[in-house]
Structure 1
Amino acid sequence: MRTEPMPTRLDRIFARLDREPVRPVLDVPRMTRHRVVLFGATLAFYLAIVLAVAVTSWLVRFDWQAMLFRPYQQWPEIHAFLDYWVVLGQRGPTAVMVAAWLGWRSWRQHTLRPLLAFGAALLLLNITVGAVKYGLGRSGPHYATDVGSNEMWHWFQAGSDIFPSGHTANAVVTWGILAYLASTPRARRWLSALSAVLSLSVGLTTVYLGTHWLSDVVLGWTAGLLILLALPWCEPLIARAEAGILAQRDRWTASHRGPRTAPRPTPAPAPVAAVIGRAAGSTASGRGGDAAPALVASAAPQDEPEPEPDPAAPVRETILPSTVRANRPPYLAPGPHTARSERTPVTPVGSRRPPHSDRAPRNAPSAARPMTGG
């Protein structure tokens, strides 16, 4: 009866993981004509906002009206909640959360593209938004001095790096990258809408708290959208970076494993008769050269002729290791030897008692005993 081994708990876990489907990876987004047109329109809108603030247009007056309205005084009951909600736009906490999720995605899909795309988006965010912030030098509402002015070109004053809003741009890029790397079109649509609402709510929270102008939020939202639209241009660079990282990992692994040594060739087994002859010669070398032929001759049977092999019977060969064959004593007969369980039992014929010369056979007639008496 054949029994199958019982699977362990670890085997059942791995079997469940093997059955769990992995979501298919969509094609890498390309810079299509539609995306190029959308990128150009967004860039034009970005420049229009910067120009409107620079010339102190109606947008600046609207910023002052929203700041003087002081929303944090109009609705003080939601101030505590919005203090925590605005954290969803801070770069440190959001980057850690999204990087953890994308790291798990990279492990499941066996690719570094999610993490590398997120890193490229953050790099573009820091370069573009940071350059515009320090280049325009606009002060925030808490540091404004002239009512109705655009508060720009204050490079050496405190709080002069708020245009565009970094919280809003970071929220657009951090949560929008999830929609950019979504596995299905439906998930991409839902995540796009969710990231848009989340980023706008974070930006309006900064207006409520009085840390940003309303135009800062609009420009920050546009800056983050520009980075997501331009990300397909970085896809070839991301692919080359992934190939280089994997190649470097392979080289590092090969260098730490060390050179592989070729296995030693296994010597061919020597014939049993030659091994017995060498063993007999080495044994009898101390007693004289004539003893070796006698031992070799005595090892082969001489009384009975060797039986002819039956062609129908299966041939069994017992191959012994080289160390066992070399150490066999010379008095063993050459040839393969079968185990006791494989031998054919032989039942002796006749009585097992040894013969006695002074004992008469059991069925033989007994001799007449002499009669005594008178």
Structure 2
Amino acid sequence: MRTDRVFARLEQEPERPSNLQVPRMSRIRRVLFGMTLVVYAAIVGAVLTTTRLVRLDWQVMLFRPYQEWPEWHAFLDYFVVLGQRGPTAVLVAAWLGWRSWRQRTLRPLLALGVALLLLNVTVGAVKIGLGRLGPHYATSVGSAELFAGGDIFPSGHTANAVVTWGVLAYLATTPSARRVLSVVGAVFALGVGATTVYLGTHWVSDVLLGWAAGLLILLGLPWFEPSIAWAEQWILAHRGRLRERRGLISVPPLSPVAVRAAMAAQRAEAGDPVAPHTGGAGSRAGHGTAARNTDWPHHPARPHTSRSERTPVTPSGSRRPQHPDRAPRTAPLGPSTPRGRASG
């Protein structure tokens, strides 16, 4: 979709529809955010201290689900793409771009951008900081494989599936649509996380922390709604200034009524005794041509030029056609040609 069409749609009606309600940080959201944060910290602590969670990671890894159920391998190789950041971001951005055009607001696209930015910062920082190796690169059985230069903890596929598909439910405008999209997002998030464990690309603890990381972003997104609203206003205002500098904003033509009113004001200031024509059909019939001529502006008086200063019609300099019995003006006078006849 072209951005010019989206901005043109926004300029038609800058006010948002009345049925769009921005989610707020309610008490329930705060409680859920706090509980999820506690779970997040507990998972990180369990992996750092090499507890039962790490032993569960190794048990599932040595079980090798992809070898126990090989018939699912081909399908799940494609299904896990629903958690990859590139394809899912493009797909969801296209849908939210259409929503932005329909709702005449940039909020859906900006909310997605803020959510993905938070995802990259928070998940990426923990990945680099802990440096955990994946199951295929593990070196010591029973070890947490931390601070070994890896980037597997938490699971980026799982967190991205939670955030990308959860944003659709977050931006839903009706309760029924929110419920349906919440179920769809949960199925995709749970399925992608379980698929990474099946394929052996992530530990179980990676997936658990990825679910918690994505849920924290969705629950805390209302805190960034004022920033999203400010960014939308700034983008539209900046675009308007750029269009003014480039001369892309055209002045709309005046209506005939406005033209006549401006002419009447100019005549009144100049002291013109001729009143503007404002009457109906009877007034038009009484005034005749003078009344019709006052509807349109007159050109200013120009100095009268002599005939010699006017541009001739023909290159020969004469407006009259050549007579067959007359000699042209440029012909020399012969001795037998009378002067009066030659001059015509």
TM-score by length of 1: 0.65
Match of 2:48 among 46, 51, 54: 54
Number of the residue aligned with 1:194? 184
Structure 1 residues 259 and 144: CA distance shift in structure 2, 3 A? closer
| 1:304 corresponds to | none
How many residue pairs get aligned? The number is 264
2-side partners of 1:164 and 1:146: how far apart?
20
- Give the corresponding residue for 2:202: 212
Matched, 1:176 2:166: yes
How far apart are the structure 2 equivalents of 1:115 and 1:259?
A: 26
Give the partner amino acid of 1:82: L
Residue 69 (str. 1) matches residue 26 (str. 2): no
Measured in 1, the distance between the counterparts of 2:100 and 2:87 equals: 20
Whether the 8 Å contact between 1:64 and 1:147 is mirrored in structure 2 is yes
Query: Aligned residue for 1:233?
Result: 223
Percent identity of paired positions between Structure 1 and Structure 2: 66
Aligned residues: CA RMSD: 3.1
Q: CA deviation at 1:25?
A: 3.9
Distance 1:23 1:234 in 2: 21
Unaligned stretches of 5+ in structure 2?
A: 1-15, 275-281, 302-344
Greater RCO, 1 or 2 (C-alpha within 8 Å, sep 6+): 2
What displacement does 1:26 show? 2.9
1:246 and 1:97 mapped to 2: Cα distance?
25
Secondary structure (helix, strand or coil) at the match of 1:257 reads: coil
Paired position in structure 1 for 2:21: 27
Which amino acid counterpart does residue 43 of structure 2 have in structure 1? I
Determine if contact 2:21/2:173 at 8 Å carries over to the other structure. Answer: no
Shift of 1:145: 1.2
Mapped pair 1:165 → 2:159: no
C-alpha distance in structure 1 between counterparts of 2:297 and 2:161, whole Å: 73
Amino acid at match of 2:208: V
Structure 1: state its 5+ residue gaps: 1-21, 273-310, 327-374
Q: Secondary structure at the match of 1:124?
A: helix
Over 3 Å counting, the alpha-carbon distance change for 1:246 and 1:179 in structure 2 is same
After superposition, the C-alpha distances for 1:285-343 in whole angstroms (9 at most, x for unaligned) are xxxxxxxxxxxxxxxxxxxxxxxxxx9x963522347879x9xxxxxxxxxxxxxxxxx
After the TM superposition, which residues 1-374 of structure 1 pair with which residues of structure 2 at under 5 Å, given as runs? 25-155=19-149, 160-257=150-247, 315=286, 317-318=288-289, 319-320=292-293
1:216 partner letter: D
Is the Cα contact below 8 Å between 2:108 and 2:171 reproduced in 1?
yes
Contact 1:106–1:115 (8 Å) recurs in 2: yes
Q: Which amino acid aligns with 2:229?
A: A
Residues in 1 aligned to 2:134 and 2:246: alpha-carbon distance in whole angstroms: 54
Compared CA separation, residues 322 and 59, structure 1 to 2 (3 A): closer
Q: Structure 2 vs 1, CA of residues 193 and 260 (structure 1 numbering), >3 Å: closer, same or farther?
A: closer
- CA displacement at 1:258 relative to structure 2: 6.8
Q: Structure 2-normalised TM-score?
A: 0.70
Structure 2 distance, partners of 1:73, 1:102, is 39
Structure 1 Cα separation of the partners of residues 92 and 22 of structure 2: 20
Counterpart for residue 9 of structure 2: none
Q: Which amino acid in structure 1 is aligned with residue 286 of structure 2?
A: V
CA distance in 2, matches of 1:46, 1:92: 25
Aligned equivalents of 2:297 and 2:31: distance in 1? 79
1:95 Cα deviation after fit: 0.2
Which amino acid is the alignment partner of residue 243 of structure 2? T
Q: C-alpha separation between the residues in 2 aligned to 1:101 and 1:195?
A: 15
Counterpart CA distance in 2 for 1:25 and 1:183 is: 7
Q: For residue 315 of structure 1, give the secondary structure of its aligned residue in structure 2.
A: helix
Determine which structure has more spread, i.e. the larger CA radius of gyration. 1
Alpha-carbon deviation of 1:197?
1.5
SS of alignment partner, residue 149 of structure 1: coil
8 Å Cα contact 1:23-1:183 kept in structure 2: no
